[in-house]
Amino acid sequence: MAERLSIFPLAGALLFPRGHLPLHIFEPRYRALVTDALARDRRVSMIQPRDDREPPTLFDIGCVGHIREVERLDDGRFNIVLEGLTRFRLLRELDVATPFRQVEADLAAFDDAEAPDALPSIVRAEIEREARRFADSRGVAVDWTGVSRLDDETLVNAISAIAPFDTAAKQALLEARTLADRADLLAQFLGFFRRGDDEPATLQ
């Protein structure tokens, strides 16, 4: 099922189904995007750029977001919180007159409607163990008691979103077909980037 989506290309900003992404909107073209979304269906779709060109080329997979919270500032900027609805596969970019980009996308490419099954306890334990090692290697203080209370999907997606991985690694996490696949990949990345702390580690 192809749908028309207004997109916000932003490197490193991952939105997952049922996840939340706070954004400060200040560029005129994205202020126009949010204004348009609020007048229509409140949807803003996140996707990562592949490069630094203007306009950048885009990865094939992104996530549709629904504006759950919005704060309009006096100078025209917005603070918003997006709630992830479903991932999409980009089919083609549309020729539009709007200052923001629009694409035609396949929203049936992923089965994101239902919350995933819980992870096996051994996988959950591995994620928490690798996350502790990664945080310790960076000198980051974490409330691990609070972390232990998170459900599996929130835990895996939150770490995937905030961990300082490169764009390619972030995209691989977004594209992982299931939560179990993403958890396995996340554990590998936590170890890879932790071991690369002495030298810049980049996944290509």
pTM of the model: 0.91
Quick one: pLDDT at residue 78?
Answer: 98
What would the two tokens of residue 80 be?
Answer: 């918003």
- Cβ count within 10 A of residue 16: 26
Give CA–CA dist 34/65, Å, rounded.
Answer: 11
Instruction: Report the share of the chain in percent with pLDDT over 90.
Output: 91
In three-state secondary structure terms, 8 is strand
Give CA–CA dist 35/100, Å, rounded.
Answer: 11
- Which of the four pLDDT bands, split at 50, 70 and 90, describes residue 195? confident
Q: Give the CA distances from residue 98 to residues 35, 119, 166, in Å, rounded to whole numbers and listed in that order.
A: 12, 43, 30
pLDDT tens for residues 177-191? 999 999 999 999 999
Residues 6+ apart with CB under 8 A from 125: none
What would the two tokens of residue 118 be?
Answer: 């819980």
Give CA–CA dist 69/111, Å, rounded.
Answer: 25
pLDDT tens for residues 2-25? 899 999 999 999 999 999 999 999
